[in-house]
Amino acid sequence: MTISPLARPFPALAPITGVRIGTATAGYKNWSRADVTLVELAAGTSVAGVLTRSRCPSPEVELCRERLAGGQARALVVNAGNSNAFTGLTGRQAAAAQTAAAATLVGCAPEAVFAASTGVIGVPLPQDKAVAGVTAAHAALGTGDFHAATLAIGTTDTFAKAATTAALVGDTRVTLTGIIKGSGMIAPDMATMLGFIFTDAAVAPAFLQAALDRANATSFSCITVDGDTSTSDTVLAFATGAAGHAPLTGWDSPGADAFAAALADLCRQLAQLVVRDGEGATKFITISVTGAESDAAAHRIGMSIANSPLVKTAIAGGDANWGRVVMAVGKAGEAADRDRLSIRFGTTEVAAGGAVVPGYDEAPVAAHLAGEDVEIAVDLGLGSGRARVWTCDLTHGYISINADYRS
Amino acid sequence: MTISPLARPFPALAPITGVRIGTATAGYKNWSRADVTLVELAAGTSVAGVLTRSRCPSPEVELCRERLAGGQARALVVNAGNSNAFTGLTGRQAAAAQTAAAATLVGCAPEAVFAASTGVIGVPLPQDKAVAGVTAAHAALGTGDFHAATLAIGTTDTFAKAATTAALVGDTRVTLTGIIKGSGMIAPDMATMLGFIFTDAAVAPAFLQAALDRANATSFSCITVDGDTSTSDTVLAFATGAAGHAPLTGWDSPGADAFAAALADLCRQLAQLVVRDGEGATKFITISVTGAESDAAAHRIGMSIANSPLVKTAIAGGDANWGRVVMAVGKAGEAADRDRLSIRFGTTEVAAGGAVVPGYDEAPVAAHLAGEDVEIAVDLGLGSGRARVWTCDLTHGYISINADYRS
């Protein structure tokens, strides 16, 4: 697999106190790589999550949705190579058996074990391999690190994706580290594949969920590769509390804003990494929408542009085809007034007031589009609603990957 | 331009009494082909239309929307090579001037002249060329036929698309003939490029509109090539009344059902021809959805499948990837119960009751997908809602056409 030209190097990641990692080979496919990951979490770890809105989710998604109500986590199991989605009763039984085995190994209630699986849809997770795999991963606990886990959760990813940041909660420095996988079937509705965030901050589950929801709104919900929403999309955040400060329980807690801002920043970094590994991507595209009637309207317009095959192919071809941007604004279903619309590529305004900017200089636009990072800015001229979303171009590479991939 | 492998031969089309056609070369691009079409309609011709729901429509779309209220048409002007969309005041003035010129030439009120333009967005229609072009087309009235008009309204089309049918209104045989253009920027919201339908039936404008709306719901609204909605999408239906029967004024009029059924059949044929000329298309895909909570839900699920890049690339690769169909059902946002879902490719059921059909025969599925016409059937098992939509596969050809096309 060719590494994405938009790849970023794997960051240096320190361990998070309260988090132990083990990986193993369950052999979900005919390979020798690690494909099952067990993360053991210290007692008292809070958990929050955002899950796919797909109406046909995987058993693991359903399991996480039920268990998030408890707010406490002691383990996370991730399988790669088999998504266990659309596998009926057999798949549900496999997920239950594997997480029950993890609970026994870790010594916790089954409700404190979370799970995610990614890979081919429709093939039940083989229960024997899944249980043997998590047992082997438990035996390896402490030998793995975030880099190993990132590799073990990956499927069609062309590079390992992770990010880290820190925040000050009062005088206490807390670390937030996330790992993520995904490159195709990346889409609007919460968007993204599997992402796991670990922090040593002490955060009550309800506030962790509130901060994650807020972060999600400006990160995972703002990316798209192909407009296709996975049946397995899962982002979970775990807070071990090992940093020892007074727990954050709400927006009024000292340090809550700093923590939430760091979480939002981390999520944005992770989301952008997924776009950078978008199938066939050669350009990273930032779409800024301002002047909409509301932030929600700006988001929908941004995603309409980001999901448009005609906009994405134009960028692939280095074509400042703002007419296609107009088309995508028009089809978004939100208020738009052609005569107030303006469009910028990079720093050059190419259209304003319902028409092309007469004699705009095409040279800087062409130079901008020849680069790896492309910025499209649209101002609706109607209100103060704004949004920023990210996508990649649509290339022959996407077709090659997806017309040849076998189910 | 390579002719689509899914092309259909141009049908034999008899003239429609009350319809006279002339084409000419306005020279909107550096070419010698006809690019302006004038259709003169007999006095008393009724008109109805469905227009793009884009919030950034072209001046011609706005002009049609206003004039449809009058219900009467004496002329239609179509420009190809320049869509006149997003051209501000200059574009509006050009559309007004060209249709005013047509009104003078034909001898009617400006409000009885309809117009459509297709081509590049953002370049104002050159008023001098537009007026000279329609004048030349008027001088040529009667020399053109439907085939000439179909060629003159085309842009990136790889073959000329038209269809004809007939109906019995009482004892009177009426003819319905339609011409259509479009191959990219073809999408859900009413969907399609420019389509013009002519009949010698006598139909009151309000009933013509009602019948066209009903036909649109099962034709133009059920196709997609790339999910992108044009700023110029226009379908107009003209009824000259030359057949001489008692006018159809409502669903109770004798022959109304037969006329409406013929119109729906014609629209479906025209819509399917557009999909058959979808950019880069190599497969014509019919998606049938049954068992949904409502017809509207079935339609949204069908369009979600039809717009999914992952489903469309799978079909391009001859892959019976029903997991991607599950994904597209799941993301549609309509009620779906994984455990009741069943999926058929051709006549073979591949998934049922929440899981793959054990040991289903892959040979007939592979043979079906190797053909030119692919059928995907999804049953939700929830209710009696149903819909049928059409799309094409997503191939390297689409990328080549749209990454290389310059604005």
What confidence score (pLDDT) does residue A155 get? 84
* Gap from A172 CA to chain B (nearest CA, Å): 42
Task: Name which of A392, A402, A400 is nearest A187 in CA terms.
Answer: A392
> Which of A120, A227, A231 is the closest to B309 by Cβ?
A227
What percent of chain A clears pLDDT 70, i.e. is strictly above it? 95
By CB atoms closer than 10 A (0-12, 13-18, 19+), residue B258 is: middle
Give residue-wise pLDDT tens across range A75-109: 999 999 998 888 888 999 999 999 999 999 999 99
CA of A57: which chain B residue's CA is closest? B330
Question: What is the tens place of the pLDDT at every residue in B142-151?
Answer: 988 999 999 9
**What is residue A405's predicted lDDT score, i.e. its pLDDT?**
56
Interface test with B, best of A51, A52, A53, A55 (most B CBs within 10 A): A55
Gap between the Cα atoms of B35 and B52, Å rounded: 22
Q: Which listed CATH number (1.10.10.10, 3.60.70.12, 3.20.20.70, 3.30.565.10) goes with A19-276?
A: 3.60.70.12
Average pLDDT over residues B248-268: 92
- Shortest distance between the Cα of B212 and any Cα of chain A, in A, equals 22
Domain residue limits, chain B: 19-276, 284-404
Closest Cα in chain B to A356: B122
Residue B405 scores a pLDDT above 80: no
pLDDT of residue B176 exceeding 80: yes
Chain B partners within 8 Å of A316 (Cβ): 399, 403
Contact A123 B356 (CB under 8 A): yes
Q: How far is B314 from chain A (nearest CA, A)?
A: 5
Determine, for residues B330 and A57 on separate chains, whether the beta-carbon distance falls below 8 Å: yes
Residue B310, pLDDT > 90, answer no
Is the per-residue pLDDT at A228 higher than 80?
no
Q: Give pLDDT, residue B275.
A: 85
CB B194 within 8 A of CB B181: yes
**Residue-level pLDDT at B192:** 45
Contacts of A331 in chain B (CB under 8 A): 53-55, 187, 189, 228-229
Per-residue model confidence (pLDDT) at position A189: 42
Specify the CATH superfamily of domain B284-404. ArgJ beta chain, C-terminal domain (3.10.20.340)
Q: Residue B184: its chain A contacts at CB < 8 A?
A: 310
Report whether pLDDT(B81) > 80: yes
Q: What is the mean pLDDT of residues B326-341?
A: 85
User: Based on the number of CB atoms within 10 Å of its own CB, is A400 exposed (0-12), middle (13-18) or buried (19 or more)?
Assistant: middle
d(CA B51, CA B343): 34
Q: What is the mean pLDDT of residues B111-137?
A: 93
- Model confidence band, residue A192 (pLDDT cutoffs 50, 70, 90): very low
Q: Which of A349, A348, A343, A340 is nearest to A324 (CA)?
A: A343
Most B CBs within 10 Å, among A233, A301, A331, A334, to test the B interface: A331
Distance CA(A83)–CA(A182), nearest Å, equals 13
- Give the rounded percent of residues in chain B with a pLDDT score beyond 70: 95
> Which of the residues A192, A231, A240, A395 is marked catalytic?
A192
Res. B353: pLDDT tops 70: yes
Q: Looking at B170-248, which runs of residues are DSSP E strands?
A: 172-181, 194-199, 223-224, 234-239
- Residues from chain A that touch B404, judged by Cβ atoms under 8 A, are 317
- B184/A323 Cβ within 8 A: no
pLDDT tens, residue by residue, B86-123:
888 899 999 999 999 999 999 999 999 999 998 888 88
pLDDT averaged over every residue in chain B: 88
Whether A396 sits inside 8 A of B399 (CB atoms) is yes
CB contact under 8 Å between A122 and B88, yes or no, is: no
Contact (CB<8Å) A399/B404? no
For the question of an ipTM over 0.90, the answer is: no
**Torsions phi, psi for B215 (to 5 deg):** -65, -40
Q: Cα(A113)–Cα(A39) distance, rounded to whole angstroms?
A: 10
Cβ-defined contact of A330 to B187 (cutoff 8 Å):
no
Is residue B402 part of an annotated ligand binding site? yes
Mean pLDDT of B209-219: 89
pLDDT band (50, 70, 90) for residue B22: very high
Higher pLDDT, B274 or A254: A254
Task: Please say if the pLDDT value at position A138 is more than 90.
Answer: yes
pLDDT score of B337: 83
- Is residue A290 among the annotated active site residues? no
Of the listed ranges A178-192, A219-233, B20-34, the least confidently predicted one is A178-192
pLDDT > 90? residue B323: no
Q: Output A23-26 pairs: Cβ under 8 A, ≥24 positions apart.
A: A23/A137, A23/A140, A23/A144, A23/A148, A23/A149, A23/A151, A23/A152, A24/A133, A24/A134, A24/A136, A24/A137, A24/A139, A24/A140, A25/A133, A25/A136, A26/A79, A26/A129, A26/A130, A26/A132, A26/A133, A26/A134, A26/A136
What's the alpha-carbon Rg for chain B, to the nearest Å? 22
B55 contacts A354? CB cut-off 8 A: no
Contacting residues of A for B332, CB less than 8 Å apart: 55
Which of B310, B337, B407 faces A321 most closely, judged by CB atoms?
B407
Checking if the pLDDT of B230 tops 80, the result is no
Question: Are the beta carbons of B321 and A185 separated by less than 8 Å?
Answer: no
pLDDT recorded at residue A406:
56
Ranking A14-18, A119-123, A350-354, B42-46 by mean pLDDT, the lowest is: A119-123
Question: pLDDT class for A185, splitting at 50, 70, 90?
Answer: low
Choose the mutation target among A338, A350, A393, A398 for the interface with B, i.e. most B CBs under 10 Å: A338
Interface test with A, best of B58, B402, B404 (most A CBs within 10 A): B402
Residue A407: pLDDT band with limits 50, 70, 90: very low
What would the mean pLDDT of B27-40 be, rounded to a whole number? 94
For range B256-278, the mean pLDDT = 88
Distance CA B80, CA B94 (A): 14
Q: Give the count of Cβ contacts less than 8 A between chain A and B.
A: 245
Task: State yes or no: pLDDT of A190 exceeds 70.
Answer: no
**DSSP per residue, A363-402:** HHHHHHHHSSEEEEEEE-SSSSEEEEEEEE---HHHHHHH
Give residue B191's pLDDT band: very low, low, confident or very high (50, 70, 90).
very low
The domains spanning A19-276 and A284-404 adopt the same CATH topology? no
Q: Mean pLDDT over residues A353-366, rounded?
A: 87
Q: Report pLDDT digits (tens) over B334-349.
A: 888 888 999 999 999 9
Question: What's the number of CA atoms in the CB half-sphere (13 Å) around residue A91?
Answer: 29
Mean pLDDT of B367-388: 94
